[in-house]
Structure 1
Amino acid sequence: MNKLHFFILALGVFENTNGVSIEKDSIENAIKIEDAPFVAVVLEKNSKKTWYLASILSEYWLLSINGYLTTPGSNVTVWTGVDVLHSNGQEHVVDYIISQELTAKTDTNYTQVALIKLKKPIVFGDKQKPISLAEPHKKLKPGNKVKVFHYTNIYFSDRSTDEKKPLKLSSLEIVSSEKCNSRLESYYKNNTDYSDDDKITITENNKMFCTEAVRRPCLPDFGSPAVFNGKLVGFSWFGLIPCGGYPILFNNINFYYNWVMEQVPELKKRSI
Structure 2
Amino acid sequence: MLRKTFILVSVCLVVSAAKLPKLVLDDGYRVVGGEVAKNGSAPYQVSLQIPGHGHNCGGSLLNNRWVLTAAHCIVGHEPTNIQVLVGTNSLKEGGQLYKPDKLFHHNYASPEFRNDIGLIRLKEEVQFSEIVQSIEYSEQVVPANVTVRLTGWGRTSADGSVPTLLQSLNVVTLTNEDCKAKSLYPEHVDVGHLCTLTRSGEGACNGDSGGPLVYEGKLVGVVNFGVPCGLGYPDGFARVSYYHDWIRTTMANDS
Which category of TM-score, normalised to the shorter sequence, fits these structures? 0.7 to 0.9
Letter aligned with residue 169 of structure 2:
S
The partner residue of 1:129 within 120, 129, 133 is 133
Q: Secondary structure at the match of 1:200?
A: helix
1:255-270 to structure 2, matched below 5 A, reads: 255-265=242-252
Q: Share of identical aligned residues, percent?
A: 19
**CA-to-partner distance for each residue in 1:198-235, whole Å, 9 max, x for gaps?**
x62535xx000111126954124111200001100011
CA separation of 1:84 and 1:93: change in aligned 2, threshold 3 A: same
Q: Which has the larger radius of gyration?
A: 1
Aligned counterpart, 1:12: none
Of the candidates 61, 66, 69, which is equivalent to residue 71 of structure 2? 66
2:93 equivalent to 1:82 = no
User: Residue 142 of structure 1 corresponds to which residue in structure 2?
Assistant: 144
1:65 partner letter: A
Tell me how far 1:84 sits from its aligned partner.
1.5
C-alpha displacement of 1:108:
2.3
* Higher relative contact order (CA closer than 8 Å, sequence separation 6+): 2
Q: What is the alpha-carbon distance in structure 2 between the residues aligned to residue 154 and residue 73 of structure 1?
A: 29
Which of 123, 130, 144 in structure 2 is aligned with 1:119?
Answer: 123
SS state at 1:236 partner: strand
SS in 2 for 1:84: coil
> Is 1:41 matched up with 2:26?
no
Match of 2:16 in 1: none
Q: How far apart are the structure 1 equivalents of 2:128 and 2:200? A: 31
Q: Which runs of 5+ in 2 are unaligned?
A: 1-6, 13-24
Q: Alignment partner of 1:254: what SS?
A: helix
SS in 2 for 1:59: coil
How many residues are paired up? 233
| Alignment match of 2:187 (pick from 200, 205, 209) | 200
Q: Is the 8 A contact 1:86 1:164 kept in 2?
A: no
TM-score w.r.t. structure 1 length?
0.75
Contact 1:134 1:231 in 2 (8 A): yes
Whole-angstrom CA distance in 2 between matches of 1:41 and 1:173: 24
Q: Distance in 1 between matches of 2:100 and 2:157?
A: 23
Residues 265 and 29 (structure 1), Cα distance of their counterparts in 2 relative to 1, 3 Å cut: same
Aligned residues: CA RMSD: 3.1
